[in-house]
Chain A
Amino acid sequence: MKFSLNFLKQFVEITIPAKELANKLTLAGLEIESLKKVSDDWVFDAEVTTNRYDWLSLLGVAQEAAAVLGKKVKINYPKIKIRPSLTDISVLVEDKKDCPYYLARVIEGIKVAPSPDWLKKLVVNCGMASVNNIVDITNYCMLKWGNPLHAFDRDKIEGDIRIRRAKEKEEFIGIDQKRRILSKENLIIADSKKTIALAGVMGAKNTEVTPSTENIFLEAAKFSPVTVRRSRRHLGLDTESSYRFERRVSEFFVSYASQEATDLIEELAKGKNPKFKEIGKKTEKQPKDIIIKLSEMKNYLGTDFKVGKVKKILESLNFKIKKATTDKIKVKPALSRLDIEREVDVYEEFARIYGYDRIKAKIPFLKKSQKNFSVLGKEEKFWEFKNKIRSFVSLSGFSEIITYSIENNQELSLFTEKRGPKLKNPLRRQEDSLRPVLLLGMVKAAKHNLNRGKSGLKFFEIADTYQEDKNSVKEKPFLSLGISGKKTKFFLLKGQVLEILNYLNITTVQFKESKKKSLGNALEVIVKGKVIGFLGKINKKEKGRLGLKEDLFISELDLRLLEKYKRDKKFKPFSRFPAVGRDISLAIEEKIKFKEVRKIIEEEGEYLVDLAVIDSYQSKELPKGYFAFTLRLFYQSKLKTLNSNEVDDYHNKIREKLDKKTGIILR
């Protein structure tokens, strides 16, 4: 909210520079976001928190300024005149809940003209446009008291006033000239023939005050905050008026606001014969008395102070001290402070004026209970586990990515049969579901980088996946890995998966060939009969459709299951004698799987401790459909150094067995 320093000075004496006042108000909780000098005035732009409806009035701000400056507020309350009564127009309120109180005045013979300079300046310096004397006066009173007012052209009102909900699809053209379609969410002011205002939000064009207006109907009211909120949200419309009604306006000030506007219209616009009518009751309760105990407040704030200080500060906020002993104070909050409901609210009032900076920081000793330790400790272990995986995988050369949990349902369905929970109110249609798998995010991150000339990517992400489960949503944290590049990178990914499992000492892993959506080449990772994840290659077709410039290999592993199956490491004795390597070059027919070759080799392997593919290639010298590679076999004994002849013997046996198998050619 914007307010002018000169306006403020009408109610409280201010002798310090504007900048200093801004700082003091900020440190009391009325944050001044910007401060600007405008000729002989200063414009303050304040962020008013939603609890402080009183700060949406100059009088509320003045009260605050008085408290931080140690001054008194001076307010001249206008004398309320309720005679003569307004009788030639009746006002009917359909539902008192929507509008508990309505105050109308009709003022005759007015002369619409530009406002005098002083009024113009104050209104403009409070961030509003100067329109004419009538509108400016209503705005001036709203700014001062916090109660929005609206002036209608009396002669354009046909018949009586009704305050009711709009009909479905009813049309409304506001003073901003825009056409809006209303619904039952909107509370309106209507005459016998038409809608003349969106209650608490905006007046209609059809009854607007114009230069030719002679008589006006002045509205002051209390509309339900929830009703105004729903109404303006439904239309996506936010005005100075709705802003205040939504946050609550003071019933105690509504009569003063209306009276002062009437007085000013008489004075500045030659208005005559004001007539008065009120409908409903001021039902608002007064703030309750609150008893605070000083010892408790000290314990709460963690600082020490004297009872006199507390009394002084509360009084500076216009709170009434009804009773005070050395430890107890009975206090009645200011009339416009219905937000003060409990002891802690009073503590805050004291603390913010006393100064948060005067409360000395200290570091607590945080106690723990055995039960909490075991419950929380278990969850904390999982957090640490995720961190360990993160550093292990990043140290393996992978870069961590963070991708959105919200994705497009259709795109997701290309990769998985699982359905992610749908959003009721997506921001954009492209992002309408929570993801049940991570891999789409991986694909997008890869594509972004491949399109920018990067290649050979190695990415990972640790994030939750989501699936609807009975009556709720099951969140499962997963690790995803992605590698881009040549076909053989599949095996790098497979190796990385094995490295992670090995790091966790999960040794009983099986890979099972399977088919997944968009992943023709895929393996399921199985531990103790349970599928804990998969790895696979994005199909050519999807690769093309997604516009990926390299093949992409993706794995996902269930982190809860990894944590479940991980085992502590145990030292394994190792051979002290050297290992000897021997190579075999061979070609195999495509239909023979490597695991068959491995089986033949391992059957013979008394001293065989390891085998590795050190080269693989395709060659024109080979028969059609054959693929060649070189294996290096390692031999080692636990008991002695193997000599060359012994190793050759074992190695030759293996060669002979391989040679006998059809589809395998030794080279």
Chain B
Amino acid sequence: MAAEIKKIKNNFQKDLENAKNSGSLKKLKIKYLGRKSKISELFSNIPNLAKQERGYWGKELNILKNQISAAIEARLAEKNQQEERMDLTYPARLPDKGSSHILSSVTSDICLIFKELGFHIISGDEVEDEWHNFSALNIPLEHPSRDAFDTFYLDLSKKNQKSGDWLLRSHTSPSQIRMMQKLTPPLAVVSPGRVYRPDVVDATHSFMFYQIEGFAVGENLSFADLKGVLLHFAKQFFSQKVQLRFRPHFFPFTEPSAEVDVSCVICGGNQAEGEGRCSVCKGKGWLEILGCGMIHPNVLEACGIDSNKYQGFAFGMGVDRIVMQKYQINDIRLFYENDLNFLKQFPI
């Protein structure tokens, strides 16, 4: 019996070494542990042994059987793992994904910040008339203040009798006028969209670009509220750390008026000169981001709103410019060229 067991052990060792894959290991399992295996045969021989030896050889055979079974299982597990193994260093396969244009996603982000404060989001019309684009906004027809608003005029078959020539709006402010004419205060609206000015296209000019206009009219809205609303916007949009600087300026449609600078988002308002000069703010430490002010009473009155009872504020910003500053884009034409190498840099 001892010799038989030893022989089985030796044979099994050789067979195990020769087993190349999980299939041959499964065959080994049948050969050594199956019903017709040598071990089974030896088990069935046990009753023929002397009574005092039966228990001993029974245990020996069981040990052998367990050893073989464990060895096969261990090798099988190892083989399985080997066979399933993949080369995980293969390059990734990217899903077929699209993108939102950076101008529309930022426009939407900005509008939603104002929505949180209670502003409604409205997209106004792009074709406007002189009255809504200029006169109602306190911009005289023949005045240097109009130079900032060079405008495309339309050649329609019928003249606009009521409100001056048709034109492509040169800013989003006419939608402010439309809303004030249509509705009574309290009012709070932001209005994003395309605007047009006949500027020759270069790295910083485009005849079409994006603006967001915002305004609120109520009984007690003040310059302090305007500051609060814009500060909230800047902190949400740029970062909690930014500061705003309100510089007195002139817009015909607001009084007092201000231009608003944000502490440079790149250098943090460092104002370094020479070598360390920030290329984005040119060492000034501030970047101009928008214009704003308290709505001029002439504008409220033009829209039929009692300027003794109501007051409010308005602001307007160029989305292109803000995106260029935030993402350090140096050429406005990139927005309208639609090169995939550009578009794909700003996924969804």
A interface list, Cβ under 8 A from B: 26-29, 31, 49-52, 225-226, 229-230, 246-247, 299-303, 342, 344-345, 347-348, 351-352, 356-357, 359-369, 371-372, 375-377, 379-380, 382-384, 386-387, 390-391, 393-406, 421-427, 431, 434, 445, 448-449, 452, 454, 457-460, 462-464, 466, 468, 470-473, 475
> Nearest B residue to A468 by beta-carbon distance?
B156
Q: A383-B122, A401-B101, A406-B208 in contact; A351/B256 too (CB < 8 A)?
A: yes
Contact of A421 among B104, B155, B250 (CB under 8 A): B155
> Nearest B residue to A400 by beta-carbon distance?
B101
Q: List 28 A-B contacts (CB under 8 A).
A: A27-B248, A31-B249, A52-B250, A225-B142, A225-B143, A300-B294, A302-B223, A302-B224, A303-B223, A356-B247, A356-B258, A359-B227, A361-B228, A366-B216, A372-B187, A395-B97, A395-B98, A396-B98, A399-B98, A399-B344, A421-B156, A423-B155, A424-B152, A426-B152, A427-B198, A459-B338, A466-B126, A475-B126
Decide: B117 and A363 in contact? CB cutoff 8 A. yes
Q: Give the CA-CA distance A368 to B143 in the complex, in Å.
A: 37
Decide: B246 and A230 in contact? CB cutoff 8 A. no
Q: A359-B224, A365-B118, A472-B166 in contact; A445/B127 too (CB < 8 A)?
A: no
CB-defined contacts of B258 to chain A, threshold 8 Å? 356
- 14 additional A-B pairs beyond A363-B228, A459-B338, beta carbons within 8 Å, are A27-B247, A247-B144, A301-B256, A302-B224, A348-B255, A361-B224, A361-B227, A368-B118, A372-B187, A404-B207, A406-B152, A448-B339, A471-B158, A473-B154
Contact of B338 among A49, A352, A367, A401 (CB under 8 A): A401
Q: B99 to chain A: closest CB distance in Å? A: 5
Q: B322 to chain A: closest CB distance in Å? A: 16
Chain B contributes a number of interface residues (CB within 8 A of A) equal to 91
Decide: B256 and A352 in contact? CB cutoff 8 A. yes
Interface of B is mostly: mixed
Task: State the total of A-B contacts with C-beta under 8 angstroms.
Answer: 270
Provide the B131-160 mask, 1 if CB < 8 A to any CB of A, else 0. 000000000001111010000111111101
Contact of B155 among A302, A351, A367, A422 (CB under 8 A): A422
Q: A363-B229, A394-B98, A425-B152 in contact; A402/B160 too (CB < 8 A)?
A: no
Q: A344-B294, A344-B296, A380-B120 in contact; A402/B227 too (CB < 8 A)?
A: no
Q: A329 to chain B: closest CB distance in Å? A: 17
Q: A351-B223, A383-B122, A468-B157 in contact; A397/B96 too (CB < 8 A)?
A: yes
Q: Which of B271-316 contact A (CB under 8 A)?
A: 294, 296-297, 311
> Nearest B residue to A247 by beta-carbon distance?
B144
CB-defined contacts of B142 to chain A, threshold 8 Å? 225-226, 229-230
Q: A50-B145, A402-B335 in contact; A364/B156 too (CB < 8 A)?
A: no
Q: A367-B218, A368-B186, A472-B160 in contact; A400/B100 too (CB < 8 A)?
A: yes
Contact of A303 among B98, B224, B296, B341 (CB under 8 A): B224
Most chain A CB within a 10 A radius of its CB, from B156, B245, B348? B156
CB-defined contacts of A345 to chain B, threshold 8 Å? 255
Decide: A379 and B120 in contact? CB cutoff 8 A. yes
Tell me which of B1-9, B12-20, B188-196 binds A.
Answer: B188-196
Q: B282 to chain A: closest CB distance in Å? A: 10
Is B50 at the interface (CB under 8 A from chain A)?
no
CB-defined contacts of A50 to chain B, threshold 8 Å? 143-145, 147, 250
Provide the B87-106 mask, 1 if CB < 8 A to any CB of A, else 0. 00000000011111101100
CB-defined contacts of A427 to chain B, threshold 8 Å? 152, 198-200, 207
A-B pairs, 4 with minimum CB distance? A302-B224, A302-B222, A29-B248, A49-B250
> Nearest B residue to A226 by beta-carbon distance?
B142
Decide: B122 and A449 in contact? CB cutoff 8 A. no
Q: Give the CA-CA distance A52 to B251 in the complex, in Å.
A: 12
Q: Give the CA-CA distance A61 to B281 in the complex, in Å.
A: 27
> Nearest B residue to A462 by beta-carbon distance?
B104
Decide: B248 and A402 in contact? CB cutoff 8 A. no
> Nearest B residue to A350 by beta-carbon distance?
B256
Q: Give the CA-CA distance A362 to B348 in the complex, in Å.
A: 34
> Nearest B residue to A427 by beta-carbon distance?
B198
Contact of B224 among A362, A394, A434 (CB under 8 A): A362
Contact of A348 among B108, B118, B152, B248 (CB under 8 A): B248
Q: A198 to chain B: closest CB distance in Å? A: 18
Decide: B256 and A403 in contact? CB cutoff 8 A. no
> Nearest B residue to A382 by beta-carbon distance?
B123
Is B340 at the interface (CB under 8 A from chain A)?
yes
Decide: A383 and B123 in contact? CB cutoff 8 A. yes
Is B184 at the interface (CB under 8 A from chain A)?
yes
Contact of A366 among B118, B340, B343 (CB under 8 A): B118
Q: Give the CA-CA distance A470 to B122 in the complex, in Å.
A: 25
CB-defined contacts of B100 to chain A, threshold 8 Å? 390-391, 394, 400
Is B220 at the interface (CB under 8 A from chain A)?
yes
Contact of A404 among B121, B208, B311, B348 (CB under 8 A): B208
Decide: A301 and B224 in contact? CB cutoff 8 A. yes
